[in-house]
Structure 1
Amino acid sequence: MPVSVALQAQMTLSSRYAERPELTDLNAGIESVWSSLSDRSGEYRVLPDGRCDIILRFQGGERPIREVTAVVTGPATGYYDVPIVSGMGFAGVRLRPGSFFKILGLEPASLRDRNLVGDAALGACPELAAICLPAVCREELLNRLIGFVHRRNAQSNYRLPPRTREVLGAFHASSGRLRIGEIARMHDIADRTVRRIMIEATGLPPKAFAQILQFHRALRLLRDHHLSPADAALEAGFSDQPHMNRVFRRLGGISPTRLPDLTLVTIRD
């Protein structure tokens, strides 16, 4: 898997990751605005979250910030480790599922398990070059990202079909616990239609997307609510604890009985 600089979840190393909930704008496709600054060199583990991000990478010690690199992350189906150097900074916008094509003009499935960095990102979306100019501070980079998404949202003629939003909502409302057939019957559509909708909106097959939602649900039940692994598996909708253990190893490379220090991203409907 290619190297990414998406700090969607960190393991072991401190990075001062922070989300800015006051800047969220779901109507414009902005699910989360975030920034991070690494205080040491090493590796971060990125966990799949079913989302795509637009990121500006920079060297945090510079004033003004002179070198800014654009990164576009595709939807991941598993974890990967990212090399980070001390002082490396990131400003990012996490796009709401269903908004990737509208904002960037790219099919999310075309970037499954890969990311576009630097020239590759600019080649796919030349307008990103305008937000990669030198900046006074990290806040300016965040404002540029937000402005970029708002402009692209306003300029696009694409409208997310209501049925797509309904299907996405059903997956989120159930935290991935509903089966594809159940969601299809809820909306009086065929299973294959659910599959088409999810791949177009998220770049992931519905089963993979649902399992990512279950994974994050279980992580929060374990970490924030201090449930036992057996209870977390039941509440998150896994068939049993061994099933959850297998998903944790595949998606996170971790064990639910020995959770490392993680920073989990906010996942909204």
Structure 2
Amino acid sequence: MKLILQWIFCFSLGFVTECQEKRYGLSGGSITLNLDLGNRSHLQDVMWRRFNRQELLANLKGVHPDIKRRMSLNVLDRSLTIHDLQENDSGMYEALDSWEKESLASYSLTVENNVSEPAIEVHGYNSSAGVCRATVNCSADGNWAQFDCDQHLCLEKDAFLTSVNITVTASDSVHCHARNHVSERRAQTSIMCHEKQQSFSRFLSPSFGSPRWSAVGFCWFCWVWEQYLSREENLQKFIHSPALL
């Protein structure tokens, strides 16, 4: 009931654009604009127009010949389906009664392309107090956002976003998410200084076979070899001593 009163209020004041339902379609795909006839099933005809009623698209007699290949009208529920969506299909669509006095439905359609795979740039590494920080730039389709990230959290510093929303998250790697209303793409990369910290931690770990224990083993081998050479030298001196000659 509230929705019906809102539509009556909007159309009575002529604020059609404020009452439009926003719809988003994928370029190359299809979308159906529905019409809730309610108690209007007695209507003899329904006319679909777009671009502020400047272009007639369809009525119960059929679809306009120029667009018949890409649009179809369901004669039972009067819904309009647009096929092979193009960016220039974006705009305002209205369903009107046969006298074009009453607006039965109004849509604001936006056609969007698939989001491109986002590009990630990581720079400005700074490792202090056991925390690795870096500046992360993520961009897609002319949109970009800059984040300050550590191993667990990314905070947005600056952004230029028009048609794509960009977010960045961090765990062991940096993940960039680029999305619009009809598609989403992701990309990821590693934080180098975090990896270095992990390598350094492994070096300090006392586990057997770690670089620390390898270094200890090498030093022990050097000591044994030094003792062996010393014994050989002393033996040679003893053999060639004057007492034995």
**Smaller-chain TM-score bracket:** under 0.3
Give the TM-score normalised by structure 1.
Answer: 0.22
Give the TM-score normalised by structure 2.
Answer: 0.23
More helix by share: 1
